[in-house]
Structure 1
Amino acid sequence: MSIESYVFTSESVAEGHPDKLCDRISDALADAALHQNPQSRLGIECMATKDHLFIAGEIAGYDFKNEEIEKIARQVIKEIGYETLGFDWRTVNIHNHLQQQSADIARGIDQHSPHLQGAGDQGIMFGYACAETDSYMPAPIYYAHRLLKNITTAKKAGEIWGVGPDGKAQVSLSYLGNQPIKVDTLILSIQHSEDLTPEQLYEMMLPYIHKTFPDGWLSNTIIHINPTGRFVIGGPGADCGLTGRKVIVDTYGGAAPHGGGAFSGKDPSKVDRSASYMARYIAKNIVAAGVASKCTLQLSYSIGLSQPMSIFVNTHGTQSILPDSELMKYLSREIDFSPWGITKSLKLERPIYERTSSYGHFGWPADREGGYSWESTDLINKFAKLL
């Protein structure tokens, strides 16, 4: 029997990518509202282009003042590093078009009893985990995120110079027997200053590439850094940014399905966010407990109703103890998948979301008090009893 070999590719983007800039502003505003009122209801969208930032969407439970919105948005732009690169935090024109949440939506979400709180929208959500990495994330997106995070950290620490906030990393890994064994191709596009040559940038990036990947993974790897030879104009000065456009970057890099709904700028009543986090939490604990080495979990919801319409589990033939159909029944009995249950279980009413807006919402160390609570493996013992 032959062992299957193949190459799989995922992409990440830096925090200065125009879409990620918009995600972060949306999440910073969400955090500000939840800090003042944990029951705030919001869906905040941003668009950034040239020297304009447009903020729109719906909110209930907190009344933003224009000057507060401007202060938060400008601070985010400044922290990311846009000062003289075509999108200056001091001079960008900010347009606020936030409005009150529709009463028709609110009546389905806000119930007399909190545990009856309905989902903020209909839709499908997916969670995924696999045993390819210690974080139970698919390896291509795992390493793409960490490469860009390493470069950004070095830039902010002053270890490297002439590097801008915008960037992309595309990682193609060779697999043998469903396990990653090396980097086949790496494409890195990094915004840079006028006076940094392609050769200087290549030499500057090489140590961070080697730092990111395991020993031996870069032998015979094809590496392209800024394939066009120039990436000076970046961010909203080059491309329009939109909240929620990088959903595959935010999740599993294409290795698992995505329901379609974005995360950033939304409170936990929006199951696009909270149920996706819960699905990841359950899938990760199933794999971490050794029940399976790969797990996909799908949840579906109807607006205004508290319980999911369906729960689907697929362990991809990687477990033999309990059929997937029995695992579905077990989850239906043992786990509270209502919006209220998810929010309380994962402590999602806290202002914890700005930090999730870059380098993926999954695969980072769990911090029950500071965020990424859905990355905890505190259900291992519960699922291990199934073995």
Structure 2
Amino acid sequence: MYLFASEAVSAGHPDKCADIIADSIVDTLLQLDPDSKVATEVFISGKHVIIGGEVKTKVHLDHAFYEEIVKKAFNQIGYPESGFERGETFFPDEAEIHTYVSTQSPDITMGVVKGDNEIGAGDQGMMFGYASSERDDYMPIAFSYAREIRDVLYAYALKHPETFGVDMKTEVIIDYGTKENFDHCKPQSIAKIIVAISHNKDVAQAEVKRLVKEIIKENVKFEAGHFNEKNITFYINNTGRFVQHSPIADSGLTGRKVVCDTYGGYAPIGGGSQSSKDYTKVDRTALYAARWLAKHIVAAGLAKKALIQLSYVIAEPRPVSVTVDTQHTGLTEIKDEELSQIIADKFPLTPRWITEKFGLDRPSEESFLYADIAAKGQIGYAEYPWEKLDELAWFKKEFRC
């Protein structure tokens, strides 16, 4: 056996609640003022929701502005669930909201806002993009299964609040058989499935376990041969009870689920999270660009895996380094260092270029909302603009694939 595990969390998880609130602030401000600069962090503990950070915008901000966003976000997440009592889950009408938001430092502003309509990087740092040939969507498989199991359980919880709450975590452990299979994107089967799901106190643990297995079997589309219930070890609510949940049971903090937001542990993560930040922050924009590049490399047949690192220095528009690592899975004679240079020469990868390419300054119901992305994950969903293979023809022609 050669095992690898990945985890996912639902929108109702306290950390995700914090991310969703923070990105709801970003969505609202950019819709009202596309030039807004936003970096607000959210901490939730019990009934307290604390919002801090920096904002530069033309929008009038007061306590009522933040209070409306917080309560709307919780309601969209699914709180409160009608099957739970006060003390068991979070009730938005009881929330005590505290705001400690200041204006963005002018020292940062002068580095970000350039006279030539360019945008300087809002901070220094490095971001990573990753893609794998394990699936048609070029995402690693254990992570994708963990997210898909989470999604079907969360959807059931929203429809059946008398049974399940919206606070849950899922984990899938894949058996690759050998390290060589892992290196060359050949997963064999699911070895273990782990689920922690909040539930009504009147639902017996035997029923929780039966329902969870049934929902998974009936709703998740597994690759052929990957799901054999007889050979899978299930851990469902391993403490035996999960009634009290939500932020009243565990605190939530922005940016604490960056592994779940990106590649599920299959690849490195950058120096910061994406949630809470506007498009000038390369923690967000460069992650999207790096994923877009990595996906093109694998989809074009250049390699079975691709890891991209982009690094930036504050106030400079272009990345100071572009690095491609195909992790010894290259399918052409092109060396990684050549690939790195060609990509660096072809694509500007400035915050302005990335923003305009993916419409990052225009979140909307018709395109995408950052709050929805925070709930589901920053990459890997076909509807995201940075998942489009719109330069695939160039990659194939340039590298004669």
TM-score by length of 1: 0.94
Residue 15 (1) aligns with residue 14 (2): no
Q: Deviations over 1:118-145 (max 9, x none)?
A: 1000001000001111111111111111
Does the residue aligned with 1:87 lie in a helix, a strand or coil? coil
Unaligned ranges ≥5, structure 2: 81-85, 364-368
Q: Deviations over 1:159-181 (max 9, x none)?
A: x7410011110110011423112
CA distance in 2, matches of 1:214, 1:340: 39
Give the residue type in structure 2 aligned to 1:102.
Answer: S
Contact 2:158–2:166 (8 Å) recurs in 1: no
Residue 365 (1) aligns with residue 366 (2): no
CA distance in 1, matches of 2:35, 2:361: 7
Equivalent position of 2:79 in the other structure: 82
Give the residue type in structure 2 aligned to 1:111.
Answer: K
Offset at 1:293? 1.3
Contact 2:78–2:158 (8 Å) recurs in 1: no
CA distance in 2, matches of 1:161, 1:322: 57
- From 126, 150, 153, the equivalent of 2:128 is 126
Residue 205 (1) aligns with residue 222 (2): no
CA distance in 1, matches of 2:334, 2:271: 30
Equivalent position of 1:172 in the other structure: 173
CA distance in 1, matches of 2:61, 2:236: 42
Give the residue type in structure 2 aligned to 1:214.
Answer: E
Does the residue aligned with 1:358 lie in a helix, a strand or coil? helix
Equivalent position of 1:369 in the other structure: none
Equivalent position of 1:196 in the other structure: 203
CA distance in 2, matches of 1:359, 1:199: 29
CA distance in 1, matches of 2:236, 2:61: 42
Identity %: 38
Contact 1:12–1:359 (8 Å) recurs in 2: no
CA distance in 2, matches of 1:161, 1:215: 34
CA distance in 1, matches of 2:265, 2:271: 12
Equivalent position of 2:96 in the other structure: 93
Residue 217 (1) aligns with residue 229 (2): no
Does the residue aligned with 2:93 lie in a helix, a strand or coil? coil
Give the residue type in structure 2 aligned to 1:108.
Answer: G
Does the residue aligned with 1:206 lie in a helix, a strand or coil? helix
Does the residue aligned with 1:73 lie in a helix, a strand or coil? helix
Matches within 5 A, 1:191-340: 191-210=198-217, 211-212=219-220, 213-219=222-228, 220-319=231-330, 320-340=332-352
CA distance in 2, matches of 1:142, 1:97: 37
Equivalent position of 2:111 in the other structure: 108
Offset at 1:215? 4.8
Offset at 1:362? 1.1
Offset at 1:363? 1.0
Offset at 1:7? 0.8
Contact 2:39–2:54 (8 Å) recurs in 1: yes
CA distance in 1, matches of 2:301, 2:152: 31
CA distance in 2, matches of 1:215, 1:257: 29
Unaligned ranges ≥5, structure 1: 367-371
CA distance in 2, matches of 1:221, 1:215: 15
Offset at 1:41? 0.5
Contact 1:249–1:359 (8 Å) recurs in 2: no
Tell me the matched-pair count: 376
Residue 184 (1) aligns with residue 191 (2): yes
Give the residue type in structure 1 aligned to 2:197.
Answer: I
Contact 1:291–1:321 (8 Å) recurs in 2: no
Contact 1:247–1:260 (8 Å) recurs in 2: no
Equivalent position of 2:62 in the other structure: 65
CA distance in 1, matches of 2:60, 2:43: 21
Equivalent position of 1:47 in the other structure: 43
CA distance in 1, matches of 2:175, 2:387: 27
CA distance in 2, matches of 1:249, 1:34: 25
CA distance in 2, matches of 1:76, 1:376: 28
CA distance in 1, matches of 2:296, 2:60: 38
CA distance in 2, matches of 1:156, 1:32: 25
Does the residue aligned with 1:21 lie in a helix, a strand or coil? helix
Give the residue type in structure 1 aligned to 2:385.
Answer: S
Offset at 1:307? 1.2
Does the residue aligned with 1:136 lie in a helix, a strand or coil? coil
Give the residue type in structure 2 aligned to 1:42.
Answer: V
Offset at 1:72? 1.1
Does the residue aligned with 1:287 lie in a helix, a strand or coil? helix
CA distance in 1, matches of 2:2, 2:394: 35
Does the residue aligned with 1:45 lie in a helix, a strand or coil? strand
Aligned-residue RMSD, C-alpha:
1.3
Q: 1:161 to 1:215 in 2, by over 3 A?
A: farther
User: Which stretch of structure 1 is more off in the superposition, 89-98 or 75-84?
Assistant: 75-84
Contact 1:82–1:89 (8 Å) recurs in 2: yes
User: Which stretch of structure 1 is more off in the superposition, 211-220 or 283-292?
Assistant: 211-220
CA distance in 2, matches of 1:26, 1:378: 30
Contact 2:71–2:92 (8 Å) recurs in 1: yes
CA distance in 2, matches of 1:359, 1:9: 19
